[in-house]
Amino acid sequence: MDKSGGNGGQMVQVMLKERVRSRAAEAVTLQQDLPLGQILTGDCIEAMRSLPSASIDMIFADPPYNLQLGGDLARPDGSHVDAVTDAWDKFDSFATYDQFTREWLAEARRILKPNGSLWVIGSYHNIFRVGAAMQDMGFWILNDVVWRKANPMPNFKGTRFTNAHETLIWASMGEKAKYTFNYRTMKTLNDELQMRSDWVLPICGGQERIRKDGVKAHPTQKPEALLYRVMLATTKPGDVVLDPFFGTGTTGAVAKRLGREWIGCERESAYREVALERIELALPLDESAIATMQSPKSAPKVAFGALVETGWIAPGTVLTDKKRRMKATVLTDGSLASGADKGSIHSLGAKLQNAPACNGWTFWYLEHEGELKPVDAIRQLYLLATED
Ligand SMILES: C[S@@+](CC[C@H](N)C(=O)[O-])C[C@H]1O[C@@H](n2cnc3c(N)ncnc32)[C@H](O)[C@@H]1O
């Protein structure tokens, strides 16, 4: 890059580059301190206490439902209905459940980064209590998502509606907090229609359902499709996702496939074993497949002139196209000149190619640290250095 942008510009550039370097170093150190790819044993509240503050990008929690089942359930033919009757789902009272909820939410809040987000899934037994606690503690609800089960279990007694959905709450750290939402990715996933908050997905069954000696390994294994959508929508590749109620490790398996880092907490050793075996077998997708389309809304908004003003690209710098057939000089106001022609990076690029339009960010190149780079690469460096 041309360094003749004047002292002010050069100083800003040096300071910004230093900020990029130190932020990147901090992020690497923080990730190195985390037990990535591990399931922490014992109680999740204690386990989360061992993690550094503000270190996690997203938490997905599928806590005990506190199902208030009144005795065994049977089908009309007398056969037994599998339901959650395990000790981990039993609480003495709503008050005990609320206290537990507030304790794990407090730790979740401490370890989430300021721009992180929290997902909690639950049923009518617990989700309203969890939602109220989240709001009381400062989380800001962004959406509640209804997971409509394509194949729900019937209401065998015929005394109520078929319970055909679960609710997910998605929240940021506060009203003004930033968070990741891959809008464009979701729209693409949904055949170019905005993704809605009602998701129709089958419950976990068939090959996906883990069984040991023909018996379900876990009563509430979630479908991978659900986690796939959650993670694709609200995390970036390389982000750290934590699941305090790991069960069979659905979160870990999907994170591995999608190139995200994961940490689990699970107090039952039998579930931990199942989860580790399962994640071992999960195949990570190729990096090129993990890339997604970027949302025009979230695309960085920065004028070419801002790079000139701040000395990232100095006036007088010569830009070329990738094959060095066309040349233009950067002017002080951020426009380009080529012979008698002048214009923005986009309009001049279009004019020189005799094309109706041109994306100047990817058309124009410059020498940067001995390599020919598109000006978009400099824009990315600038954005990295100036993001809050
Ligand atoms: C609803 S299940 C989660 C199922 C999981 N999403 C899956 O797809 O397999 C809740 C899990 O949390 C675990 N659990 C409950 N209370 C816990 C606690 N205090 N600390 C750690 N794990 C806990 C249970 O053993 C159970 O496996």
pLDDT in tens, 95-145: 999 999 999 999 999 999 999 999 999 999 999 999 999 999 999 999 999
Q: In this predicted structure, what is the pLDDT of residue 289?
A: 82
Structural domains in the chain, CATH included, are 6-20+300-386 (no CATH), 33-290 (3.40.50.150)
Ligand 1: residues within 6 Å at CB? Answer: 43-44, 62, 64, 88, 218, 220-222, 245, 247-248, 250, 265-268, 271
- Measured in Å, residue 120 CA sits from the centre of ligand 1 at 12
Q: Which residue's CA is the closest to the ligand 1 atom numbered 18?
A: 43
- Measured in Å, residue 319 CA sits from the centre of ligand 1 at 57
Query: Both tokens of residue 92?
Result: 């003495």
User: Residue 81: helix, strand or coil by DSSP?
Assistant: coil
pLDDT in tens, 250-292: 999 999 999 999 999 999 999 999 999 999 999 888 877 887 7
- DSSP secondary structure letters along 6-60: HHHHHHHHHHHHHHHHHHHHHHHHHHHTS-TTEEE-S-HHHHHHTSPTT-EEEEE
Specify the ligand 1 atom closest to the Cα of 204: 8
- DSSP secondary structure letters along 293-308: PPPTTTS----HHHHH
In the chain, alpha helices (H): 6-32, 44-49, 94-111, 127-136, 183-189, 224-234, 250-257, 269-281, 287-290, 304-309, 345-353, 360-363, 375-386
Q: Per mean pLDDT, which range of 68-82, 220-234, 314-328 is the poorest?
A: 68-82
- Of 49, 86, 88, 100, the residue with max ligand 1 atoms within 8 A of its CB, to mutate for a pocket test, comes to 88
| For residue 17, pLDDT beyond 90 | no
Rg of the Cα trace of the chain?
26
Specify the ligand 1 atom closest to the Cα of 65: 1
What predicted TM-score, i.e. pTM, was given to this entire model? Answer: 0.73
The one-letter amino acid code at 137 reads M
CA distance 171 to 123: 17
Specify the ligand 1 atom closest to the Cα of 43: 20
Q: Which residue's CA is the closest to the ligand 1 atom numbered 19?
A: 43
- Of 245, 267, 278, the residue with max ligand 1 atoms within 8 A of its CB, to mutate for a pocket test, comes to 245
Q: Which residue's CA is the closest to the ligand 1 atom numbered 13?
A: 245
Q: Who has greater pLDDT, 171 or 193? A: 171
Q: Which residue's CA is the closest to the ligand 1 atom numbered 22?
A: 266
| For residue 222, pLDDT beyond 70 | yes
- Measured in Å, residue 42 CA sits from the centre of ligand 1 at 11
